[in-house]
Amino acid sequence: MATLDARIHLASQSPRRRELLTQIGVRFDLLPFRGGPRSDPEISEEALPGEAPEAYALRVALAKARFGQRLQALRHLPQRIVLAADTTLDLDGEIIGKPRDAADALAILSRLSGRAHRVLTAVAVAYQARIESRLSISEVRFRELTDAEMRRYVATGEPHDKAGAYGIQGRAAIFVAEIRGSFSGIAGLPLCETALLLRDLGYPI
């Protein structure tokens, strides 16, 4: 794909994903949805009954990439690779997404305290008729957390837009006793999988 524009469209509002793409030298423009993903029924983040965490993360990431392609056409934007991603937590088979409010964030952190959980980040890229995806799965183990430190963390506001109510790249790093897998995947965009997907679609990386 020698004629492929050496920029992509990022279908995400996440500042973490922007930072991670910049880290590996990927040039991008934001492709914002109308009012955030939760406002667009085409890309609902509600889990389906009985849906496994792996299937959920891949389905949502692919839906975001497809919807990004439609927005690209509707807005008469340059036809570029569209990249989207979705991160969720798996705690004993249960999908844990973003907290609804501070009380929910505190409840989620209480459940994660002293335990291991899985972090799943699916990445999807779409260009013309092609759409590809990959799934990164990592394990994170929290140390035992006190009520006071969980409340202090929730009061910072950091958990409110993050799957599992924490950001490993932020203040919650002090909660993490061990990780197995991809640090960038836990942060929201697994760079190894992302680079391979972009390369397969012809992006010069």
Structure tokens at 53: 């965490």
CATH code for the structural domain at 8-200: 3.90.950.10
Query: What is the three-class DSSP state of 156?
Result: coil
Tell me the C-alpha distance between 204 and 8, whole Å. Answer: 11
pLDDT tens-digit profile, the chain (205 residues)? 434 569 999 999 899 999 999 999 999 999 987 654 445 666 778 888 999 999 999 999 999 999 999 999 999 999 999 999 999 999 999 999 999 999 999 999 999 999 999 999 999 999 999 999 999 999 999 999 999 999 999 999 999 999 999 999 999 999 999 999 999 999 999 999 999 999 999 999 8
DSSP letter at 40 equals: -
Nearest to 55 by CA among 137, 139, 166: 137
- Which of these is catalytic: 29, 40, 86, 147? 86
Domains in the chain: boundaries:
8-200
Active site annotation includes 86: yes
* Predicted pLDDT at 45: 84
Residue-level pLDDT at 1 = 42
